[in-house]
Homo-oligomer: A and B are copies of this chain.
Amino acid sequence: MSVKNILFSVLLLFVPISFAAHFLEWGELAVFITAGLAILPLAAWMGTATEEIAVVVGPILGGLLNATFGNATELIIALIALKSGLVDVVKASITGSIIGNLLLVMGLAMLLGGLRHKEQEFQPVVARVNAASMNLAVIAILVPTTVDITSSGITEATIQNLSIAVAVVLMLVYALTLLFSMKTHSYLYDVGVAETEAEAHTTKPNLLLWVGVLFAATILVAVESEFLVDSLEVATSQLGLTALFTGVILVPIIGNAAEHATAVTVAMKNKMDLSLSVAVGSSLQIALFVAPVLVLVGWFFGQPMDLDFNPFELVAVAVSVLIANSISSDGRSNWLEGTLLLATYTVLGLAFYFHPVIDRIG
């Protein structure tokens, strides 16, 4: 049992503690912190369960399962925040998940991997397809925001309609990227993944057991997300943080902790293809699947969720994609490149910390 597994097992204790904090009314701050800590191991268990089920049901169905459940934690937190009308927090957590995966996770993976291995290599063709997909995602966020800024007297409804149309395009593209990576060009993606699976599985996992785990973990994440979202506004203002900083920096770290651990661990084993597929794949999933789903769900339930972001969030996503693409597109990495990604994350984090107001232009 690895250090990571022991840590996540201990953190499971925060599930009952957070229930106590909520029902015994220990205060919003205590609920926020304990619920946040409780979500970490639950998200990890959801990830493990999804992967184990994927092994049983075969590569195609398993790939689809991973592609839809891979960011289930973020999706659940976002849906509950959306239901509570915290649209700005939802948008901020989308921004933050993309930034966090591209800069923090990929940066740590390249830094720690690069300290052990002088130069690390990965499939440049995959890196470029991913880079182009991330560029499309940036354009999709940029377009509604820029239409809003550059036109006077545009109505909410127009932005909403534009966002829905763009969301549909993004979901189609997401489906096509799955077709590309799992069917027509799967040979580009095979190496790292096959190896790891072969390593991990000597016996076939028990399907029923893991479906049960997935079910239980999903329910608990939903419940804990309720605690987290309900206590968010009071708790963060007690900590002296803005809602923007919380949404962009804190929430995504909670939702992505499991991916962080995986990406860094495999990078240190010099499996950069797998490491990047976790980090960049997670960003792509947020941008091309989770964000569009939230737009459509928000529209369905009458919550005005659109793709019109705060201009500074847009700038942050755009520059993150720019530097991540410029670093990854040659299929090689070293520790300095990891450091540059982390420095960018720090600079953006500082900016979100000092940013005083969410100022919506339009």
Contact = CB atoms under 8 A, between A and B. Distances in A.
A298 to B, nearest CB: 18
A166 interface: yes
A336 B128 CA distance: 11
A237 to B, nearest CB: 18
B312 A147 contact: yes
Main secondary structure of the interface of A (DSSP, over half): helix
B340 A173 contact: yes
B180 A336 contact: yes
A340 B288 CA distance: 12
A153 interface: yes
Contact of A319 (B125, B129, B139): B139
Contacts of A325: 326
Residue among A143, A176, A330 with max Cβ neighbours from chain B (10 Å): A143
- Counted per complex, copies of this chain come to 3
Contacts of A118: 184-185
Contact of A326 (B128, B165, B170, B340): B128
A336 B185 contact: yes
Interface stretch (A26-34, A228-236, A252-260, A342-350): A342-350
Residue among A125, A129, A132, A161 with max Cβ neighbours from chain B (10 Å): A132
Given A310-B150, A312-B146, A162 B132 contact: no
A334 B180 CA distance: 10
Interface in A141-188: 142-144, 146-147, 149-154, 158, 161-162, 165-166, 169-170, 172-173, 176-177, 180, 184-185
A176 B115 CA distance: 13
Contacts of A138: 319
A140 interface: yes
A291 B147 CA distance: 24
Nearest to A124: B330
A339 interface: yes
B147 A354 contact: yes
Residue among A138, A166, A177, A347 with max Cβ neighbours from chain B (10 Å): A347
A62 interface: no
Contacts of A354: 147, 158, 161-162, 165
A134 B122 CA distance: 23
Contacts of A59: none
B132 A351 contact: no
Interface string A182-202: 001100000000000000000
Top-6 shortest CB links A-B: A150-B312, A180-B336, A162-B354, A143-B351, A150-B311, A135-B323
Interface of A: 118-119, 124-125, 128-129, 131-133, 135-136, 138-140, 142-144, 146-147, 149-154, 158, 161-162, 165-166, 169-170, 172-173, 176-177, 180, 184-185, 310-312, 315, 319, 322-323, 325-327, 329-330, 332, 334-337, 339-340, 343-344, 346-348, 350-351, 354-357, 359, 361
